[in-house]
Structure 1
Amino acid sequence: MIHGALAGMNGAATMTVLRMLAHRSGLIDLMVPQKVEQWARRKAGVRRWRTPGGYRIVDHVLHLGYGATWGALYGALSPAPEATTVARTATFGIGLWAFGSMVLFPALRIGPPAWRSGARENTVNVAAHLAYAAATSLLVDEFSRQPHREVTTRRPWVGRVG
């Protein structure tokens, strides 16, 4: 589960980079974590954060936490690394997109469901969730293949490091 949580946080960070590119290119106006932060702030009765950039801290903490939660669940339920396939990873990503966009967002009144969103928003959102699933799946697999101890060498100056 810990490997899954770490992988999920990295997956969420991957989504953020993809969404920032989409935002800069004008495909979307807000990233999903920003919309969630606005919703959470309204629910908490906070007009604005006292700390400059507080909204950015909160949207990242919420998104990384959400990603870590799904990553931990994936890590706990994931098959052996050799059983992970592109289809399974894509199903994980599409499933998360469907749950968030068609169930969670409308139920909590954070935003409209996917069927009321435009093609651009849905394309960015699906791509972001596929990137999340790919990063999370790859990292869970990689963590499980690595030794459960510190990797050491007698000659620290020797080796391929990238």
Structure 2
Amino acid sequence: MKRNAREVVAGTRPLTALGAISNGVLSGAVGTLAMDLLLYARYRKDGGKGGFLHWEFSSDIRSWDQAPAPAQVGKRVFEGLFRRQLPDERAALVNNVMHWGYGIANGARYGVVAGSLRTPRIRYGAPFGAGVWASGYVVLPAAKLYEPIWKYDRRTLAKDLSAHLVYGLTTAAAFRLSGTLKNALRRSRTR
């Protein structure tokens, strides 16, 4: 098999599109978990009493009136596609599916971009996370689920941005680590 200059110098092989997407999906899941751990720590600091799994699975959401933006988006998508109303007892499930699905889908997109780079850097996760954060403040107000960004105070925006920076940086770190581990395994098999 013929190797290109990048492979010879770095001991790596470029990612295929499927490899970049699959690494991105996994990395996006790790990033979503890291973001959730930060948000859970804040919830506990602010007096929240529920355990992590109770909090993570939105166990306190009992109706669409209580449901946050991810659930509301999922409800609109489902009802628009299937022309059927979702009952209140599905609000928590839809919230989790949309939250995790969004984090994983954005991870896949990150994988496509980062996988096309010579050397994906962890620091690229900061603008990635900031971009995911900013897109929410464009799409969600347009959907009438958020207020326009200028109506939020700095503290709220900073807390939300910092959580998305954790997501982005962790996604980038996981992507970089997955590539490093795969290359190390390849090198060990060829020895």
**Structure 1: which amino acid aligns with 2:113?**
L
Superposition map of 1:7-156 within 5 A: 7-26=27-46, 34-41=68-75, 44=79, 45-49=85-89, 54-78=90-114, 79-81=117-119, 83-86=120-123, 88-101=124-137, 103-147=138-182
Aligned residues: 141
Give CA-to-partner distance per residue, 1:13-43, whole Å, 9 cap, x none: 221222222233339xxx9x83321454467
Query: Displacement of 1:58 after TM fit?
Result: 2.2
Aligned-pair CA distance for 1:85: 4.9
Q: Counterpart of 2:182 in 1: which secondary structure?
A: coil
Q: Secondary structure at the match of 2:92?
A: helix
| CA distance in structure 2 between the aligned counterparts of 1:112 and 1:57, rounded to whole angstroms | 24
The alpha-carbon distance between structure 1 residues 35 and 23, as it changes in their structure 2 partners (threshold 3 A), is farther
CA spacing shift, 1:35–1:143, aligned 2, 3 Å: same
Q: 1:142 to 1:115 in 2, by over 3 A?
A: same
In the alignment, the residues of structure 2 paired with residue 133 and residue 124 of structure 1 have an alpha-carbon distance, to the nearest angstrom, of 14
- Any stretches of 5+ residues in structure 1 without a counterpart? 152-162
Alpha-carbon distance between aligned partners in 2 of 1:42 and 1:26, rounded to the nearest angstrom: 31
Q: 2 CA distance for matches of 1:24 and 1:38? A: 25
- Based on CA coordinates, which of the two structures has the bigger radius of gyration? 2
Unaligned runs of 5+ residues in structure 2 are 1-20, 48-57, 59-66, 80-84, 187-191
Share of identical aligned residues, percent? 26
Pairwise CA RMSD: 2.9
Greater relative contact order structure (CA < 8 Å, 6+ sep): 1
Q: CA deviation at 1:142?
A: 1.0
Q: Deviations over 1:90-117 (max 9, x none)?
A: 111111111112x111122221132212
Runs of 4+ in 1 over 4 A off after TM superposition: 148-151
Q: Give the TM-score normalised by structure 2.
A: 0.63
The amino acid that maps onto 1:16 is D
For 1:118 and 1:47, locate their aligned partners in 2 and report how far apart those are by CA, in whole Å.
Answer: 34
